[in-house]
């Protein structure tokens, strides 16, 4: 029964939206790979199919391909299926439409990705820094950000506390 419903969902999505591939990589997981133009309509469609919870948005930096991959993780209360809608965008001047009109709680996830990867979400009004304070470098979760180099640069500049013996 569940299997049939999943296949039906796959058929519908692939039929309505062009350039979209639906896969079932493992049990209870569905991956929808699509273009960014299709993202909002597909999320809206999934929401109308009772997939009403946005559990998270993740981001992967595929630096060699020059792309960011955004993964929208959506679930339903009536099905064990966990859906991952994947969209790729260029690393240069990375930006994409916000989804807060469909899933309100996307707000905080988009804010996190904006800070850690530098992806701009058009239409999201609350993209202020979340964890970091006065961050000057490139977004820290990008692959070209070198954590060890940064630590050396920042913390080696902090003057050592001279012990009492050295002073005299």
Does 55 bind another protein (CB under 8 A)? Our answer is: yes
Cβ closest to another protein, residue 13 vs residue 139: 139
Cβ closest to another protein, residue 9 vs residue 61: 61
Cα maximum dimension of the chain: 83
45/137 Cα distance (integer angstroms): 39
- Tell me the chain's radius of gyration from C-alpha atoms: 21
Out of 53, 88, 124, 127, point to the residue binding another protein (CB under 8 A).
53
Neighbouring C-alpha atoms within 13 Å toward the C-beta of 111: 14
- Asked if 132 contacts 157 with a C-beta cutoff of 8 angstroms, the reply is no
Out of 132, 138, 149, 153, point to the residue binding another protein (CB under 8 A).
132
Out of 4, 122, 148, 157, point to the residue binding another protein (CB under 8 A).
148
Which of the ranges 10-18, 37-45, 53-61, 155-163 carries the binding residues for another protein, by CB under 8 A?
Answer: 53-61
Out of 7, 11, 21, 29, point to the residue binding another protein (CB under 8 A).
29
The DSSP symbol for 77 reads S
Cα 82 to Cα 6, 27, 116: the distances in Å are: 11, 9, 25
Does 131 bind another protein (CB under 8 A)? Our answer is: yes
Q: Residue 39 corresponds to which tokens in the numbers above? A: 């993202």
120/31 Cα distance (integer angstroms): 24
Does 103 bind another protein (CB under 8 A)? Our answer is: yes
- Beta-ladder partners of 95: 120
Cβ closest to another protein, residue 40 vs residue 56: 56
What is the binding site for another protein (CB under 8 A)? 25-26, 28-29, 52-56, 58-61, 71, 73, 77, 80, 82, 84, 103-105, 107-108, 112, 130-133, 140-141, 145, 147-148
């Amino acid at each position: 029964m569940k299997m049939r419903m999943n296949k039906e969902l796959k058929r519908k999505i692939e039929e309505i939206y062009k350039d979209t591939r639906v896969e079932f990589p493992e049990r209870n997981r569905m991956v929808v790979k699509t273009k960014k133009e299709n993202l909002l309509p597909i999320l809206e469609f999934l929401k109308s199919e009772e997939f009403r919870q946005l559990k998270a948005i993740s981001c992967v930096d595929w630096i060699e391909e020059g792309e960011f991959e955004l993964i929208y993780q959506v679930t339903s209360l009536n099905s064990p299926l966990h859906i991952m809608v994947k969209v790729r965008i260029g690393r240069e001047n990375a930006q994409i439409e916000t989804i807060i009109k469909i899933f309100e709680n996307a707000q905080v996830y988009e804010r996190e990705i904006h800070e850690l990867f530098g992806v701009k979400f058009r239409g999201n009004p609350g993209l202020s820094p979340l964890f970091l304070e006065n961050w000057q470098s490139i977004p820290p979760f990008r692959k070209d950000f070198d954590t060890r180099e940064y630590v050396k640069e920042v913390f080696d500049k902090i003057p050592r506390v001279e012990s009492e013996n050295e002073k005299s």
